[in-house]
Amino acid sequence: MAEPSIWNEPGPECVLCPPLRFRFNEMVDLPGESSVLARDTGFLLMPDVAPLAVGHLLLVTRRHHQCAGAFGYRMWEQACHWRDRVSGLYERAYGSGELLLFEHGPADSQGGGACIDHAHWHFLPGTPGVRAVLEGGGLTGTPAGHATLRTRFRTGRSYLLVEEEGRATVHPGDGVRSQFLRWAVAAARPGEPWRWQETFGLPESKHRFLRTVQGMRRAIDAERFAAHAGGSTADGAIGQCRDSHQ
């Protein structure tokens, strides 16, 4: 029997659900629906509207789920597949498939540092050292997998999910500040503003957004060409995702 997915009805103001999904893009004259880079039945891949760096992407659920801890097994596998594909796109765009994955996992409204209670994973190229920032602040991590996150969510414990260097860890998230993991990225790279409200709509932020779209579209075109030519694609890395998230 298939494992049921937990699905939460969205509130009327969820900005990652229709009809508000691209409201922020429209506010600062950024592409909205047309900036979605790829999609499947469960997810949309798109640039962050206030990117911390060129290449900052969001993997957003099409339907309203509170966090990845609410996913059923099949949806978790889909998300892992996307993680591996993003690694391949980064390899094509930037010369390395190394990435940072992070998620604020709210067990209750805006818990775990979340400012939007709708499941989304952040991806950034490279490994800026976010796990070390968390552990240095006393937020000790344990190996992360679907069962671990699901247990935390079902028992009302918010979490912080971090993957760097192919290793995923989950850290306590109750009581942390809003946008905590954005802060941790900036702490690992001093001098960078971290609150999305501080950079949203500014010329440099919009430039990063557009450069991300351009770079990722080129990478997707190269991926498509390789697939048509019979070459390897990022899909072959799915075992790595399963191993690092189990």
The reported pLDDT for the residue numbered 11 is 63
- Fold that domain 31-245 belongs to in CATH: HIT family, subunit A (3.30.428)
The reported pLDDT for the residue numbered 241 is 52
pLDDT at 6 over 50: no
- pTM value is 0.88
Tokens of 140: 């000790």
The reported pLDDT for the residue numbered 238 is 30
pLDDT at 239 over 90: no
The reported pLDDT for the residue numbered 4 is 36
Tell me the average pLDDT across 130-155.
96
The reported pLDDT for the residue numbered 195 is 83
Domain residue spans of the chain = 31-245
pLDDT tens by residue, 201-231: 899 999 999 999 999 999 999 999 998 887 5
b/e burial code for range 114-145 (CB count within 10 A of at least 16 → b): beebbbbbbbbbebbbbbebbeeeebebeebb
The reported pLDDT for the residue numbered 234 is 43
The reported pLDDT for the residue numbered 8 is 58
The reported pLDDT for the residue numbered 192 is 74
pLDDT class of 237 with cuts at 50, 70, 90: very low
Q: Are 213 and 31 in contact (CB under 8 A)?
A: yes
Mean pLDDT across the chain? 88
pLDDT at 73 over 70: yes
Q: How many helices (H) and strands (E) does the chain have?
A: 8, 8
pLDDT at 51 over 50: yes
